[in-house]
Amino acid sequence: MSAETEPVKAIVTPTRLEYEFTAAGTHADFLARIAEGKLLGSRCSECGMVYVPARGSCPRCGVAIEERCDVSDKGTVTTYCVVRVPSENIDLKLPYVCAHILLDGANIPFFALIQECEAEDVRIGMRVEAVWAPKEEWGATFENIRYFRPSGEKDVPVEQLGDWV
Amino acid sequence: MSDSSGGASFTASHVLEYDYRRSVGPVLGRFFTALREKRLVGIRAADGRVLVPPAEADPNTGAALDEFVDVGPGGSVASWAWVHQPRPVHPLDRPFAYALVRLDGADTGLLHLVDAGEEARMSTGMRVTPRWRAERSGAIGDIECFVPEDAK
Amino acid sequence: MRNVGIISFAQSRYVRHEAKRSEVEMLLPVVTEAVQASGIPKREIGFTCSGSSDYIAGQAFAFVGAVDALGAWPPIAESHVEADGAWALYEAWVKIQCGQADSALAFAFGRASMGSIADTLRMQLDPYTLQPLGIDSVSMAALQARALLDSGKASERDMAEVAVRSRRDAKDNPDAQLKGDFEVDKILAEPTLVSPLRRHDCPPISDGAAAVVIASEEKIRELGVPAVWIRGIDDRIEPHQPGVRDLTLSPSTKLAAERAGGDVASLDVAELHAPFTSQELILREALGLGDGVRVNPSGGALASNPIMAAGLARIGEACRQIWSGRARRALAHATQGHCLQHNMVCLLEGE
């Protein structure tokens, strides 16, 4: 025992809980499809919105969604964030940019990392494309897509992005 | 809707793990400091009962409490539950009892473990005494467990 | 006090492990059924409240995902309790009492099968003196069962009889998970799990959801649907440390029943949220239930124990007894915390 006579001021309480997550329903459908190199969306029959990743119910209408459709792995930046603060579990060179990307065919943006350009070059309206991991490394995981990079296409004017900006 | 997935499902293990550093305040601080010194203390409630672990406020009136009382180290088992098949989350890797131990001088039960060896050795009312850890930090785990008094 | 009635109830067919659907996909049909059966168009429901536990999902703010099942556009008035859905119902009832809504949806859900639920529930315990001991919910309940047996108020046979009756009655409940004919002597011959509890004294692990729609009397008259009236609702909590309490009694349940205006003598049915057989015996005594009251005709939490929905399901099952004409007055009880620390009593009456 230490010779310390100071009264106890604090205790450390470790917590550990173990789970076996089951991805089921549309989550599983999305993962099965990304393992094939495709991004699966789902289309609400009532409002027509296409959600990606695919989800089993429409958050607007509160109804089940049956229809599935692939969406493109190319899209447009609708907003972005330049991160200059290091984070314990993130092994990226600072600054890095994460963005909301409205994939072609989808009605809600997809959250992803942008690389292969300077942070100050990222802008709303910028066209980007997914950079996939080598096919032999694919699994049922988001990690199949390493990041998005500028595609070189002409920017989409901000006015055309409508509600998504 | 729900069956259109064709039955695909994926499983992944996930561990939610974090440490919190919690300030203990003066009442629990006194309790834990005593544990580090191999002593046990309770606190006197408004109605004269001695509460272990000590409470910051009276359970009936809500009044702040501050009269500490030495209790134990031995006591008697007020209730117990025998864990036949301990799992990794349990502190002991052999069957043991969780028990409410009414320490000598206390009027309430302290929850802890009793390492009695076998279920037949357990009984309500039996006398137990703490087995202290060699290295103590000022926490409830400074007592590794209680053991039958006559086993020492 | 406004008169508030329950006008619909829906729940999952509870299962050991919901492997085919996400939480939202599991919840959506239950919420949809409850809202459709209420006769109130979804967009006109005045308030929505959910009960769930993020620890069960293993993610912070997991409960937010459930809003996907609600069609929250235009934005809705919504709340959440990190508690059993019975408390979501209570908040909804208060909302109607305050005149801020005329109707409300209360729901609850969870996939307890994904984690180790007995250990997850340890997170409800005091982190300074109780959690570090690694005690799980079954061991806590076993301490209470031992105290009950030591008091002489009940025997292991009494506990086994609760188990047998519950699973037998569950055979008549299409939504119940654990059902069948068991024999008291065979149960008593089995070894204990965490003594004195045997496997049969413990609840199953259940995944599922439950939902209830309530409305003010004016709204109900307008709809012309049969209501189960909430004649009284109250909840009381006891001190947290198990060593401070007499675990063989449930004074909070007794007090909640009194405050709810309980006239136990006139009850036909009591749906008690007792995941452990020993707890049913303690609750019966606290409420002073005589032999004339049918306890847990649904099978209770011993037949299906969807954590966070089991209390709300007791309220719903009591309503089913009334709507089907099998009862006129019922008591529904919900509990939280270990060893019946916190208890709600709801008194229900048919037209």
Q: What pLDDT, on a 0 to 100 scale, did the predictor assign at position A1?
A: 46
| Cross-chain Cβ contact B79/C247 below 8 Å | yes
Tell me what ipTM this predicted complex has: 0.95
Q: What pLDDT, on a 0 to 100 scale, did the predictor assign at position A4?
A: 66
- Only one residue has tokens 């299409």, namely C174
pLDDT, averaged across chain A: 94
Q: What pLDDT, on a 0 to 100 scale, did the predictor assign at position B6?
A: 53
Q: Measured between CA atoms, how close is C68 to chain A, in angstroms?
A: 4
CA pair distance C269, C296, nearest whole angstrom: 7
Q: Which domains occur in chain C, in start order?
A: 4-116+205-223 (3.40.47.10)
Sequence-distant (6+) residues with CB within 8 A of A68 are A26, A29, A40, A41, A42, A43, A54, B4
Q: Measured between CA atoms, how close is C33 to chain A, in angstroms?
A: 11
Q: Residue B102: which domain range?
A: 25-151
| Cross-chain Cβ contact A59/C17 below 8 Å | no
Q: With 80 as the cut, is the pLDDT of residue A99 above it?
A: yes
Taking alpha carbons only, the member of C112, C17, C69, C23 closest to residue C310 is C112
Q: What pLDDT, on a 0 to 100 scale, did the predictor assign at position A163?
A: 80
Q: Which residues of C touch B5 (CB under 8 A)?
A: 20
Give A84's pLDDT tier (boundaries 50, 70, 90).
Answer: very high
Q: With 60 as the cut, is the pLDDT of residue A2 above it?
A: no
Disruptive mutation site among C146, C151, C193, C197 for chain B (greatest number of B CBs within 10 Å): C146
Q: In this structure, how many other beta carbons lie within 10 angstroms of the beta carbon of residue B125? A: 9
Taking alpha carbons only, the member of A34, C50, A7, C221 closest to residue B25 is A7
Give B1's pLDDT tier (boundaries 50, 70, 90).
Answer: very low
User: What total of structural domains would you count in chain B?
Assistant: 1
**Within-domain flag for B7:** no
**Least confident window among B4-13, B19-28, C270-279:** B4-13
Peptide bond just before B95 cis, omega within 30 deg: no
Token pair listed for C280: 């049913």
Provide Rg for chain A, Cα atoms.
Answer: 21
Return the axis-axis angle of helices C137-151 and C277-287, rounded to nearest 10°: 50
Q: What pLDDT, on a 0 to 100 scale, did the predictor assign at position B2?
A: 37
**Within-domain flag for B116:** yes
User: Any CB–CB contact under 8 A between B88 and chain A?
Assistant: no
Element containing residue C236 per DSSP (H, E): strand C228-237
Chains that touch B (3 or more CB pairs under 8 A): A, C
Q: With 90 as the cut, is the pLDDT of residue B5 above it?
A: no
**Within-domain flag for B1:** no
pTM for this prediction: 0.95
Q: What is the pLDDT of residues B115-141, one digit of tens each?
A: 999 999 999 999 999 999 999 999 999
**Within-domain flag for B14:** no
**Within-domain flag for B6:** no
Q: What pLDDT, on a 0 to 100 scale, did the predictor assign at position B7?
A: 60
If you measure CA to CA, which chain A residue comes closest to C19?
Answer: A24
Residue B5: which of A15, A17, A29 has the nearest Cβ? A29
**Within-domain flag for B95:** yes
Q: What pLDDT, on a 0 to 100 scale, did the predictor assign at position C149?
A: 98
User: Any CB–CB contact under 8 A between A21 and chain C?
Assistant: yes
- Only one residue has tokens 């703010």, namely C61
Residue B5: which of C20, C127, C244 has the nearest Cβ? C20
User: Any CB–CB contact under 8 A between B95 and chain C?
Assistant: no
Chain B stretch 6-25, residues whose beta carbon is closer than 8 A to a beta carbon of chain A: 6, 8-24
Sequence-distant (6+) residues with CB within 8 A of C20 are A24, A25, B2, B3, B5, B7, B9
CA pair distance B134, B144, nearest whole angstrom: 9
Taking alpha carbons only, the member of C16, C81, C77 closest to residue C54 is C81
Q: Which residues of C touch B82 (CB under 8 A)?
A: 142, 192, 194-195
CA pair distance C37, C29, nearest whole angstrom: 12
User: Any CB–CB contact under 8 A between B29 and chain C?
Assistant: no
Q: Measured between CA atoms, how close is C57 to chain A, in angstroms?
A: 8
Q: What pLDDT, on a 0 to 100 scale, did the predictor assign at position A5?
A: 79
Q: With 70 as the cut, is the pLDDT of residue A17 above it?
A: yes
| Cross-chain Cβ contact A8/B15 below 8 Å | no
| Cross-chain Cβ contact A29/B21 below 8 Å | no
**Within-domain flag for B13:** no
**Within-domain flag for B49:** yes
Mean pLDDT in residue range B4-10: 63
Q: What is the pLDDT along chain C (351 residues), one digit of tens a residue?
A: 899 999 999 999 999 999 989 999 999 999 999 999 999 999 999 999 999 999 999 988 989 989 999 999 999 999 999 999 999 999 999 999 999 999 999 999 999 999 999 999 999 999 999 999 999 999 999 999 999 999 999 999 999 999 999 999 999 999 999 999 999 999 999 999 999 999 999 999 999 999 999 999 999 999 999 999 999 999 999 999 999 999 999 999 999 999 999 788 899 999 999 999 999 999 999 999 999 999 999 999 999 999 999 999 999 999 999 999 999 999 999 999 999 999 999 999 998
Q: What pLDDT, on a 0 to 100 scale, did the predictor assign at position C262?
A: 76
